[in-house]
Amino acid sequence: MINTSLIAKTSYLGFAARLLGSGFLLFFVFRAMDTRGIAAVFASEVRIIFLVVAFILYGTTQILAVRKWYTMSTTLFGLPRKFALYVRLFFVGIFYAHFLPGGQLVGEGVKAYRMAGLSLPAHRVIASQILDRITGFIALGILATLAYGMSPIIYNNTSQFFVVCGILIATAVGIAIVVMPRMFSALPWVSNLLPQDSAVIAQHKYVAWYAIGFGAVIHLLSSVVVVLVFFGLGVAVPFWLAVWVYLVAGIGIAVPISYAGLGVREGIFAYYFTQVGVAPEFAVSAALLVLFIQFASACIGGFAELATLWKK
């Protein structure tokens, strides 16, 4: 029998630990700068139009991410072709991931639970989510390698070579699992992840590369969001550096040491963008604005949940 009380306590303890982690990280980030400078950045003439466009573009990337998940779920795992259902569950999952203890794991769990509640095979639902994440990471790894080669400030830094090597190794493993599944078919968790029908398996590589390409487009557009946020603050940053920072921040945020990546994102933005002459106050302000955009997008899922409760 599952001890729900223990699970709840563990979840809240983890949440408290991440809040504490964010506090420590923010302390180290802010102590290296004049915090009044951040207030001055927001008090200055911020070009709202760029921030509005950034928010719209970020929302577009979220819809594209839904489309990617929908395509794999329906093509490979035979799940329902109801795009509106995926849109709703995607944003609900983001809402729970941002605002409840447990983070991304809870968000994905809510999505799986809701779909399984529609009498859908639970293993197929979970497999579609895992495959969605793997293909997204592969796209991230490919773009990170490209951004590394396109950014002199990055490839001239020896320490970043080891970062990109680690990303490449993880990406190669992901590609092997997705594109050459039979190599790993002896592993139970991999065999459960893959569709069993031979006709579907024949299409698997095509769909996988489609998802990886789609993921790359999503990551690139999300990087444009970062560039637009800086434009909104009156600062121009190199595009490929913005791609690298966005992707590295995405990896850092996935590590459960902070709440919603608070402190991790700001530290990464400050570390990289100050190397091209951006004042740390502007770099941290941009990171906070990106977080605000992500929170605002997550609120869509919150409104969807409130609407459901209202109907009940």
Residues whose CB falls within 8 Å of the CB of residue 72, separated by 6 or more in sequence, listed in order? 128, 131, 132, 135, 207, 211
pLDDT at 32: 72
pLDDT category, 55, cuts 50, 70, 90? very high
**φ, ψ of residue 5 in degrees (nearest 5):** -65, -40
Give the residue from 146, 155, 137, 153 showing the smallest Cα distance to 271: 153
pLDDT at 303: 83
What residue spans of 194-279 are helical by DSSP H? 198-232, 239-254, 264-273
257, two tokens: 């040491």
pLDDT at 59: 93
User: Do the domain assignments include residue 15?
Assistant: no
pTM of the model: 0.85
Percentage above 70 pLDDT, the chain: 84
Better-predicted residue by pLDDT, 116 or 197: 116
Residue 238 pLDDT more than 50? yes
Percentage above 90 pLDDT, the chain: 28
Average pLDDT, the chain: 81
The CB density around residue 129, as the number of other CB atoms within 10 Å, is: 19
Residue 7 pLDDT more than 50? no
pLDDT category, 216, cuts 50, 70, 90? very high
CA–CA distance, 79 with 93 (Å, rounded to integer):
18
124-156 pLDDT, tens digit each: 788 888 888 889 999 999 999 999 988 888 888
Containing domain of residue 297, as a range?
A: 48-311
pLDDT at 2: 41
**φ, ψ of residue 9 in degrees (nearest 5):** -65, -45
256-305 pLDDT, tens digit each: 777 767 788 888 999 999 999 898 889 999 999 999 998 888 888 888 77
CA–CA distance, 45 with 232 (Å, rounded to integer):
9
pLDDT at 6: 45
75-97 pLDDT, tens digit each: 888 888 889 889 988 988 888 88
Residue 306 pLDDT more than 90? no
Residues 243/147, Cβ–Cβ less than 8 Å: yes
CA–CA distance, 210 with 177 (Å, rounded to integer):
15
**φ, ψ of residue 303 in degrees (nearest 5):** -65, -35
pLDDT at 4: 45
Better-predicted residue by pLDDT, 180 or 234: 234
Residues 17/102, Cβ–Cβ less than 8 Å: no
Give the residue from 173, 150, 142, 145 showing the smallest Cα distance to 161: 145
Mean pLDDT of the region 93-113: 77
Burial class (CB in 10 A: 0-12, 13-18, 19+), 260: buried
**Number of domains comprising the chain:** 1
CA–CA distance, 217 with 305 (Å, rounded to integer):
29
Length of the chain: 312
Which of 86-95, 202-211, 235-244 is the most confident on average? 235-244
CA–CA distance, 294 with 55 (Å, rounded to integer):
8
CA–CA distance, 110 with 307 (Å, rounded to integer):
17
Better-predicted residue by pLDDT, 57 or 111: 57
pLDDT at 237: 94
Residues whose CB falls within 8 Å of the CB of residue 222, separated by 6 or more in sequence, listed in order? 58, 61, 246
CA–CA distance, 87 with 93 (Å, rounded to integer):
10
